[in-house]
Amino acid sequence: MLAAIALALAPIVVSAAPQETAITFYRDPERAAGAVMDMDPNSDEPLRGFALLEEVREVTVPAGRVTLRLEGVAGSIVPQSALLYDITAGEKNFDARLLSQRGLIDGFAGQRVTIRRADPVTGQPVEEAGTILSGADALVLKTARGVEAVQCEGSLNTLLFPGRPVDLTAKPTLSVELPASNTGGALRLRLVYLAGNFDWQADYVGTFSADGRRLALSSWLTLGSRDRTRFERAQVSAIAGMIKRAVPTDAEEEAAEQEREADPYAPDNIDVSAGCWPLGRTAAARGHAPMFTPRPYDTVEAPIALRLGGGWGGWGGGGGCEDEDEEGGCNDDIVVTGMRRADQSDVGDAKLYTLQHRSDIGARSIKQVRFLDDRVLKGEFLHHAVYRGDYLDDANYSYRLVNDTASGLGEPLPRGRIALFQDTPLGRHPIGEVPVKEKAVGERLDIDLPDAGGDDVDFDADEDDGPDGSNWSRVTLTVRNDGDRPITAEVEFADTAEHTLSRFSRRLEQRDGRPVWRVVVPPEKERTIRFRRTELPERADY
């Protein structure tokens, strides 16, 4: 008990903000190539990627036991991932009790506050002392008049608090307990942790020349943060590659959900609302709008005023949002800014893109960064399909090039989406958006076009059974060109566990371990290839 009392009396030292911050964005590992991250600023769904944050903080602490409060960490911090270097630390706690209506009422429970009312006759403000007897869900005050349930009586206008509780902050805070062996003095700390609610994607814009022989390509990293913390002058990076986090078990997910439901300071629970008719008359009801808005305050010095019942929507000022409209409400619009360029480097098999200059990452914001200079690429248009042993895939119409310097590229490409345009005599014409897979230097890049080449090109496979009792059949694959221009076509042949392919009637190329038939088909002509498809015996189940 004495140890607990000593810990409770330990001095509190606050680090209001880091001196240096570095943020590395990681993509949602479950998002498929071509799928886009959710960029709706008003969405309540969290972003599924994550970030690694590193902070440098300078603080002076006394010797002995100290509670060190690190304010301004990411609101979606994973507390168990936090590592504190250059200091010996004990217990670490993430404090989600933001400076909010609920936090103030709970923080001053049992204490005296000033109650301001509007005189029902004169309309002039009248103040009196009172004591908060209960929490925010059912606010009860004791005054000289007696005990009153505020949410039902309804005449209260404002509560004035004498200050701000020391453990209540407008910023997400990580608390660290320094042990008795702490020698004190000026400290330079390095804090590293993971946080959710971040994501990024690659966005490309490609414009075909009027003759279709060249593709002008520009490339951007789109960085998204749906966290409530703003990071200023941060060193910003993004990792490209398949980086995954450990997936929690169903039991862990259920336990986390139960914890969120029970936490009054969780985003879904922080709202404080009235549960009965104000003034005791249904005619005076202001609907079921919350008495308090769920957004936290910005940092405000004492005394702090809290409005209880400001009409529809309740209290409408001082929100902890990135922007405010003319009426004092939040504008959670996406903030898009452009930086000049990000530099690319290697991290093992992954690629790291780092902004050349420090940059701000706003709360609930989107930032775009150029990572590839404008390039003019040389490739070719072709129709291609894959024959998979017993069926032919739908053909794709693509612009193909090799990711090398000869084609005008030669840099790794993160997966994302490309918006395609065509230069025409009438101006720049949009074609559509298509996915781009992750491509390393030297790999073949197929940009599948939304239009599969129209109805002028057809791939068809006909099968004739072999002699009675044989386990093979003859396949004739035909490519027809009903257009007025020659086309290039390719078919890849894939063996399967059930079939093998052999005895091709034409010479084939080998690519990535597969035979490939490549042919130019003149206008109004067709080309065929014949081969044998052999059925393999069924394998026994083990």
R_g (Cα) of the chain, nearest Å:
32
Extract the tokens encoding 309: 């019942």
pLDDT recorded at residue 452: 53
How big is the CA angle at 166 (ends 160 and 169), to the nearest 5 degrees? 80
Nearest 5 degrees, angle CA 484-CA 529-CA 393?
A: 75
Cα separation of 463 and 529, whole Å? 12
CA 233 and chain centroid, separation? 20
Whether 450 has a pLDDT exceeding 90, the answer reads no
**Per-residue pLDDT tens digits for 117-148:** 877 778 788 888 888 887 766 778 888 888 87
53: closest CA among 257, 220, 231? 231
User: What confidence score (pLDDT) does residue 219 get?
Assistant: 92
Residue 98 CB neighbours (<10 A):
22
DSSP states of 369-411 = EEEEEEEEEE-EEEEEEEE-SS-BPPPEEEEEEESSGGGT--S
For position 323, what pLDDT does the model report?
Answer: 42
Tell me the backbone φ, ψ of residue 335, rounded to 5 degrees. Answer: -105, 115
CA-angle at 73, arms to 54 and 319, nearest 5°? 145
pLDDT at 96: 58
The total number of residues written for the chain in this structure: 542
482 vs 30: which has the higher pLDDT:
482
Which residues are bridge partners to 355 per DSSP? 342
Secondary structure string (H, E, C) spanning 253-311: HHHHHHHHHHCCCCCCCCCCCCCCCHHHCHHHCCCCCCCCCCCCECCCCCCEEEECCCC
249 pLDDT exceeds 50? yes
Q: pLDDT value at position 456?
A: 85
The answer to whether the peptide bond before residue 414 is cis (omega within 30 degrees of 0) is no
Which of 41-55, 140-154, 431-445, 490-504 has the lowest average pLDDT?
140-154
**Which one-letter DSSP state was computed for residue 98?**
B
228: helix, coil or strand?
Answer: coil
Higher-confidence position of 410 and 123: 410
Residue 211's pLDDT is: 85
pLDDT tens digits along 279-331 = 444 444 444 444 433 333 333 333 333 333 332 222 223 333 434 443 343 44
pLDDT digits (tens, 9 = 90+) for 17-39: 999 999 999 999 888 766 888 87
